[in-house]
Amino acid sequence: MTRPDPKDPSVASQSESVLIDPIASLANDDGFAPVRAPRLSEEIVNQIANLVATGKISLNQRFPSERALQEKWRVSRPVLREAFRVLEAQGIVESRPGGGRFLRSTRVLDAGRPNWSDLRANRDVLMRLWEAREAVESKLAELAAIRATEEDIEKISRPIQLIEELAPEDLEDLDLNGQFHAAIATAARNPILEQIGTDLIRKSGQVGFKHLVGVTNWAALQSFHQPILDAIRARDPAAAVVASKLHFDNLRERVREAD
């Protein structure tokens, strides 16, 4: 095993970009991460990121009213507005005066901004993330094959259908791949594993997988998603595990090729 290099830029960029998170110290191999007082508005941004990742808010959907959100989150109006200001600045939320707020993009949703210019450093983080995702998501797929309801299976198959139907330029602003994985996480019916799974999915998006391997042919990814769905639908947990592991093997291969 190689010792972590404290000057490794991937360690620094990751710890800065993940602000308030149960696994925020993920990329710090020594287990230590800088501590800072979290801001309430960042907590809201991260919650919205999770709502999007789990499909509880979808593209172009209108957010509940300020009053309703204040009650749910138990925060003041300025805190709420600060969170939405961050999302507006990133083009993720559109606010219409008197008309409410709408989700306009599901791309890069987090309090921190990823550093796209440092993809090489991100690659190392991404490889570690995928290692973790392979472990967690093969278990999630196994459980989903046992526990998924018909409705869950419908939610898992929807992103696959959309990828086939939509034009590549429309896919740029959507994270259908993330939604596919998040739907499996939900179908496993284990809230603890689901939380870990969706956090890891979101982090993979943050480190810039799309940019890193320059995915333009989204349909090609489907050849790895379809067997996972088929195994879950066939109620075959062992096949679901194999199909999940194959998917992550392929992803690692893509990053290596992008070297």
Sites of contact with Zn ion (CB under 5 A): 177
Q: What are the Cα distances from residue 104, in Å, to 97, 140, 161, 197?
A: 16, 29, 21, 24
Least Å distance, CB 239 to Zn ion, is: 17
* CB closer to Zn ion out of 50 and 177: 177
Q: Which residue is nearest to Zn ion (CB)?
A: 177
Going 110 to 114 to 116 to 119, the CA torsion angle's sign is negative
110 strand-pairing partners: none
Alpha helices in 18-107 (DSSP H): 40-53, 66-73, 77-89
102 strand-pairing partners: 62, 94
Asked whether the beta carbons of 239 and 195 are under 8 A apart, the reply is: no
Least Å distance, CB 162 to Zn ion, is: 14
Least Å distance, CB 251 to Zn ion, is: 7
* CB closer to Zn ion out of 103 and 160: 160
* CB closer to Zn ion out of 157 and 177: 177
Bridge-based pairing of strands 93-96 and 100-103 is antiparallel
* CB closer to Zn ion out of 14 and 177: 177
Least Å distance, CB 214 to Zn ion, is: 16
